[in-house]
Amino acid sequence: MNQEILFATHNKGKLREARAFLSKVGYVVYGLDDLFLDEKVTESGSTYAENAYLKAQAFSTLPFPVFSDDSGFEIASLGGKPGLHSARFAEELGGYDKAMDFIVGKTRQDDRALFRCTICLIEKGKGPRYFEGEVKGRILPERHGTNGFGYDPIFESEDGVRFGEASEEEKTLHSHRGRALLKLATYLAI
Ligand code: ITT
């Protein structure tokens, strides 16, 4: 039986990945744009969990369970930045191509990086629940592939999966978001 759930995101890449994953366990996943909800929540928190909560809570009066995803790219040689500000970082540098060129230039000595994801789920009459995932890996010396979104073309997970070349399924199997989604799906199936 299909159950409906709202993913409080405007990010099409995140939505594609979550939809593909959760449809396998019987969920129809709506994104904000599917419901013509164009409100953009101010991410004023100082942790992924706080921002994820703000994004889910803003839509929790709608007649669906709602979840959100706050995620980020943490680069060792940049002291863990851009992290919480990964989307803004690319905007400020003039787009992802420029941001990736900048990162590649700064990571020749130390290429360690990781992606983190925190999902916040709010169901009617219940407190928020959090599901986390991370994936360690390295920054590639040049861009590879055009799959995925955001910083994917310069990331290779520690088990050797290049996110810009991987299929959606393969990326999800190894990614921060896939790991958090697995915990969410396990909880929802209980
Ligand atoms: P929503 O808030 O609407 O969900 P957003 O893109 O603004 O969309 P975040 O604030 O969580 O979401 O920013 C996360 C950023 O981190 C995202 O825009 C990418 O720049 C980067 N990122 C997160 N997961 C990624 C992934 O799987 N592949 C590549 N980049 C990713």
Give 47-61 pLDDT, tens digit per residue.
Answer: 999 999 999 999 999
Mutate to test the pocket of ligand 1, among 6, 71, 134, 171 (most ligand atoms within 8 A of CB): 71
> What count of residues does the chain have?
190
Under the banding of pLDDT at 50, 70 and 90, the label for residue 189 is confident
pLDDT at residue 56 in the model: 98
Average pLDDT, the chain: 96
Residues framing ligand 1 (Cβ under 6 A): 9-11, 14, 43, 55, 69-73, 86-87, 90, 115, 148-152, 175, 177
Count of CB atoms within 10 A of residue 88's CB?
A: 11
**CATH code at 175?**
3.90.950.10
Catalytic sites, residue numbers: 70
Q: Does the pLDDT value for residue 10 go beyond 70? A: yes
Q: What whole-number percentage of the chain has pLDDT above 90?
A: 96
**Could you give the angle at which helices 12-23 and 176-189 cross, rounded to 10 degrees?**
40
In which domain, by residue range, is 51 found? 3-189
Peptide bond into 82 cis (omega under 30): yes
Q: Is residue 190 pLDDT above 70, yes or no?
A: no
Total domain count for the chain? 1
